[in-house]
Amino acid sequence: MATQSEVTKSNALRNVAIIMDGNGRWAKSNALQVSKGHEKGVGVVREIVEESINQNIESLTLFAFSSENWGRPNKEISSIKKLIIKAIDDQLEDLINQKVLLSFFGDIEAFGDSIVSKINLAENKTKIAKPSLRLNIALGYGGQQDILNIIKKAAADALEKNISINSLDKDYIINNSCVPEESIDLLIRTGGDKRVSNFLLYQIAYAEIMFIDEYWPDFTKKLYIDLISRFKKVSRRFGKRV
Ligand code: IPE
Ligand code: IPE
Ligand code: MG
């Protein structure tokens, strides 16, 4: 049986992921264009990155645009594309100074050459051996698509005899997923909806999932700190009897 100190000891929080939802509703409730909601949302990212470093979190994985978000109006998509370029231009210097390692994952090619080259530049400039934080941005990402791509790769590797089917294991999945993190400890979704909307399906197997009502542009450092302290009090059992 676990001792009292084992039961009460706080959880280490290494890998956080956030579904930053509610930009559209925030804009609507403030009588603004949806693009203004996305713009305000980018500002919140800056604060949460800062606090993640303060909290010694190892990685922060943010859902910025899903595979399914391509179904939105062209006007909204082009404002998001402009915002991606602007966010990188505005924040790259600070990220370098903060020793943040920046990575993007998902179907980035679909965003076009100018975004692809901007992302490559940002990733190269923030490459660092011992980062203060790994900041991963999901763009054009879908968990189901990622799993399907892994299956296709495994089938091709098996057919070409690069691997034996019996050697397929968890490491193969992790190494061939486009997601930079192996597993998530805490998944936060803002905006009030209680669903994961095709984010990190494999990596959230044992994540604590916290749904909060605030729209992403209203998310604050204080709320983030509260969720982190809630996480630290949770009993994580991983299926075991403790
Ligand atoms: C999340 O906010 C950002 C993206 C999906 C790009 P939404 O734009 O989905 O905001 P709501 O859910 O419509 O309020
Ligand atoms: C999830 O939010 C995607 C991002 C936050 C980038 P959505 O707004 O796309 O999810 P649904 O449509 O409400 O499930
Ligand atoms: Mg939404």
Q: Can you give the pLDDT at residue 87?
A: 98
Summarize pLDDT for 171-204 with one digit per residue, the tens. Answer: 999 999 999 999 999 999 999 999 999 999 999 9
CA distance linking residue 64 with residue 102, whole number of Å: 14
In the block, tokens 């790769």 appear at: 153
Residue 2's pLDDT is: 46
Active-site residue 198, yes or no? Answer: no
pLDDT at 9: 63
What is the model's pLDDT at position 5? Answer: 46
Query: What pTM does this model have?
Result: 0.96
Domains of the chain (ranges, CATH numbers): 23-141+179-232 (3.40.1180.10)
Cβ–Cβ under 8 Å, residues 231 and 55: no
User: At residue 57, does pLDDT exceed 90?
Assistant: yes
Which mutation among 18, 19, 20, 23 tests ligand 1's pocket best, with the greatest number of atoms within 8 A of CB? Answer: 23
Q: Which ligand is nearest to the CA of 28?
A: 1
- What's the 192 CA to ligand 1 centre distance in angstroms? 12
d(CA 104, CA 128): 15
- Amino acid identity, position 114: S
Per-residue model confidence (pLDDT) at position 213: 98
- What are the CA-CA distances from residue 129 to residues 15, 60, 99, 133, 196 (Å)? 18, 17, 9, 11, 32
pLDDT per residue over 103-151, tens digit each? 999 999 999 999 999 999 999 999 999 999 999 999 999 999 999 999 9
Cα-Cα-Cα-Cα dihedral sign, residues 224, 137, 61, 206: positive
**Spatial contact of 36 and 46, defined as CB atoms under 8 Å apart:** no
Active-site residue flag, 69:
yes
> Of 204, 156, 205, 203, whose CA–CA distance to 178 is shortest?
203
The one-letter amino acid at 14: R
Closest CA to 101 of 132, 61, 65, 141: 132
Question: Is 193 near ligand 2, meaning CB less than 6 Å away?
Answer: yes
Alpha-helix runs per DSSP H in the chain? 4-8, 23-29, 34-54, 74-97, 113-125, 143-159, 170-176, 221-233
- pLDDT category at 4 given cuts 50, 70, 90 is very low
Tokens of 191: 């905006």
